[in-house]
Chains A and B, each alone.
Chain A
Amino acid sequence: MKQQAIDQILGKYDYEHSSIIGMLQDLQEKENYLPEKDLEYISERLSMPLTRIYRIATFYNAFSLAPRGRYLINVCLGTACHVRGAARVLDKLKMDLGIDVGEMTRDRLFSLETVNCLGSCALGPIVVVGGEYHGQMTPARVASAIKKYRKKRSRKRDGKD
């Protein structure tokens, strides 16, 4: 991100050290992850030790230090979804995408993550893809769900959307 843009984020929080978590969230919202260069710049600009920034970036699950895929797949592993079979859905996703939790597919299309309850328990098991909620997911429906996003992506590439 351009330094000017980062300064805007820092300025929004009045350069307050205690707002570092909010600053990093804003940065990640724009960049989809936390780039090393940007974190170094923030450390300098705020006069905050880089260790503290990395301490926070690695402690909280919300942050990713590595680039993430175009579509973030979030599988809910809350208790209600678990008793409805969420673990099997996750296994199927891992298999179909060929990646583990926290990883990105080679074509950079998907990143797989888990979350401990989205609060939509009536629709469990839930999988969120790129912000879209897919309820009552089953292992059998995983393949077609993923296909839909691959299609979407190639439509975009071909200029159809």
Chain B
Amino acid sequence: MERIRSPRELEEIRQEILRGRDPDKPCITICSGTGCHAYGCERVTEAFRAELKKQGLEKRIDLRTTGCHGFCERGPVVLINPQKIFYQRVTPEDTAEIISETLLKKNVIERLLYIHPGTGERIVREDDVPFYKGQMRIIFGNNGKIDPRKIEDYIAIGGYSALSKVLTELSPEEIIDTIKRSGLRGRGGGGFPAGVKWESCRNAPGGKHYVICNADEGDPGAYMDRSLLEGNPHSVLEGMMIGAYAIGSDEGYIYVRHEYPLAVRNVGVAIDQVRECGLLGEDILGTGFNFDIKVNRGGGAFVCGESTALMASLEGQAGEPRAKHIHTVESGLWDKPTNLNNVETWANVPLIINKGVEWYTGIGTETSKGTKIFSLVGRVNNTGLVEVPMGMTLREIVYDIGGGVPGDGKLKAVQTGGPSGGCIPESLMDIPVDFDRLTEVGSMMGSGGMIVMDDTTCMVDIARYFLNFLKDESCGKCTTCRDGTRRMYEIVDAISQGEGREGDIELLEELSWVVAEASLCALGQTAPNPVMSTIRYFRDEYEAHIKDKRCPARVCKALITYVIDEEKCTACGRCKKVCPVEAISGEKKVPHRIDPEKCIRCGACITECKFDALEVV
């Protein structure tokens, strides 16, 4: 694309792009986020392309690969526009039929439609699918409309108009005031008011100012930022540009986790395109504003999601946090004033500028404005990324949008906030989801990971899981975090092995207090949250493990036994074949038996048995 020299030229280009597009032209939109890649969406795309070519339809029907649409459970997802017909679990073999039936003859293919679990009804339009119906996809919804590698698509939906407006109509102070009044709070976990942060940074002396986008997204189970960066990188770039202008920065960094190659690639392509047309670089849109962005990859360290550790990493050092009595907005990267915000926070900025404060503050609760994107995963039917207004209840998210717990499982808890957060029990499912309410009940919003747990989840095992994670991810600098999380892990691990003792819970509570109070950074300071929240709401499970040496959820290996129900066993021998330690014995026609001494509780037999004859006691 040619260099865009002024806001007016940008508008002209936008109009030109729109004129060249027919909104009623049929378009096959294929979700190509990492999740759908894992499902093989590339082959589906290739199949469509080949078929379109074969039938000579390339000019009549558009093909667009986009970022994640959110309904990861049903991938590969294909949307037929303009009718927004929603097809799920599409295979390369379906593509020819989709073209001939749906695109040419306007017929819907029933078997590819979503079936409503309650009514059995087949749903045609994306907006009517319950998963999407309950959401408010003001940010994430754009993923489905654009090819992230085509800047024209982003411009066509209004992209960079917020930047234009800001550079021509608003002063930096006015921009900051707008963000402050919008109530935008950091979406990375801290929930700090973004406008206030921008203001402190702008006012900090030091000449050079930096802006950073934190795309380290280390919470296991959370992948919202990745999907935003993959699917709509321009929205993040535009947010950063506006922020940089407001703060007085000319240099920005996007720090992307090492494990996100597609996000790195797509944001790199976006930056190349933006540089090419002059929206990054010198004299942007002819307004004299200079700004450029570099992308840095992380090296595989959860602690680098912490802002001072991230900055150390950008400086080419090990990701060790430092004390924060000197704030990073005053002295951050290279000891200069630095403003760091999360991916989703930046993506909210152009929206606020375009739609205005009044519109934005109309969404959400008193203290938490706007929407939040969550990754709804775990023991839930509709796994995927959901965007909801702040204030929606957990129950609505898990049931109305998530479709509830699979099979005959019973909802037990929802974990939010990743390793820094806590478990919220079923009894509190009606709390509205916002920053303060979640903190009140002992968890936190975090980056947006929402793990659903049912009665097959052992809460002691969950605490153990998080402590195991934290002790390995700790940078190891301070005694309390390094040794404290390890010792907490040892105690909870012993409990899960049936070696817990009276007084363990009290010791955990004491350790938690010190680790939270005396650790250097937020990793250590929040490390006790998973264990403390599970003790708070599921103390009975801990006590069962400690006193009765029993795991009520039947997860902790040392406390369970696998048994074959003789009445159900048909002696088919499949379990015997897959048992890696030859613990199953039995002749033909004789119900098989597991030797409890040999059994390692790997679960292979359970998944193999077609007669439901394996029991866990």
Instruction: Sort A-B residue pairs by CB-CB distance and give the 6 closest, nearest first.
Output: A60-B299, A119-B223, A61-B300, A78-B220, A122-B72, A80-B377
Q: A117, A123, A138, A140: which contacts B221 (Cβ < 8 A)? A: A117
Query: A107 CB to closest chain B CB, in angstroms?
Result: 20
- Residues of A28-43 whose CB lies within 8 A of B: none
Contact with B along A42-70 (1 / 0, CB 8 A): 00000000001001100111110000000
Question: A153 at the A/B interface (Cβ < 8 Å)?
Answer: no
- What is the bound-complex CA distance between A143 and B378, given in angstroms? 25
Residues of chain B lying within 8 A (CB to CB) of residue A85: 603
Question: A79 at the A/B interface (Cβ < 8 Å)?
Answer: yes
Residues of chain B lying within 8 A (CB to CB) of residue A84: 378-379
Number of interface residues of A (CB under 8 A): 47
Residues of chain B lying within 8 A (CB to CB) of residue A133: 37-38
**Please, which residue of chain A has its CB at the minimum distance from the CB of B303?**
A59
- Residues of B557-571 whose CB lies within 8 A of A: none
Given the contacts A121-B72, A122-B75, A138 and B603 also touching, CB distance less than 8 Å: yes
Residues of chain B lying within 8 A (CB to CB) of residue A78: 220-221
Contact with A along B27-68 (1 / 0, CB 8 A): 000000011011100000000000000000000000000000
Q: Is the CB of B317 within 8 A of A56?
A: yes
Contact with A along B464-482 (1 / 0, CB 8 A): 0110010001010000000
Question: A91 at the A/B interface (Cβ < 8 Å)?
Answer: yes
Size category of the binding interface on chain B: 35 or more
Question: B196 at the A/B interface (Cβ < 8 Å)?
Answer: no
Among B217, B319, B415, B578, residue most surrounded by chain A Cβ atoms (within 10 Å): B578
Given the contacts A91-B602, A92-B602, A119 and B299 also touching, CB distance less than 8 Å: no
Contact sample, A vs B, 19 pairs, CB 8 Å cutoff: A18-B315, A19-B316, A21-B316, A25-B297, A52-B317, A56-B299, A56-B318, A60-B300, A60-B318, A77-B469, A80-B378, A80-B451, A116-B220, A117-B259, A119-B226, A120-B34, A138-B607, A139-B603, A143-B578
Question: A135 at the A/B interface (Cβ < 8 Å)?
Answer: yes
Q: B221, B469, B473: which contacts A80 (Cβ < 8 A)? A: B221
Q: Is the CB of B35 within 8 A of A22?
A: no
Residues of chain A lying within 8 A (CB to CB) of residue B218: 116-117
Contact with B along A104-143 (1 / 0, CB 8 A): 0000000000011111111110100000010100111001
Question: B536 at the A/B interface (Cβ < 8 Å)?
Answer: no
Question: B252 at the A/B interface (Cβ < 8 Å)?
Answer: no
Query: A101 CB to closest chain B CB, in angstroms?
Result: 11
Q: Is the CB of A59 within 8 A of B457?
A: no
Given the contacts A25-B299, A116-B302, A88 and B602 also touching, CB distance less than 8 Å: yes
- What is the bound-complex CA distance between A17 and B334, given in angstroms? 13
Query: B534 CB to closest chain A CB, in angstroms?
Result: 13
Q: Is the CB of B580 within 8 A of A122?
A: no
Q: Is the CB of B220 within 8 A of A21?
A: no
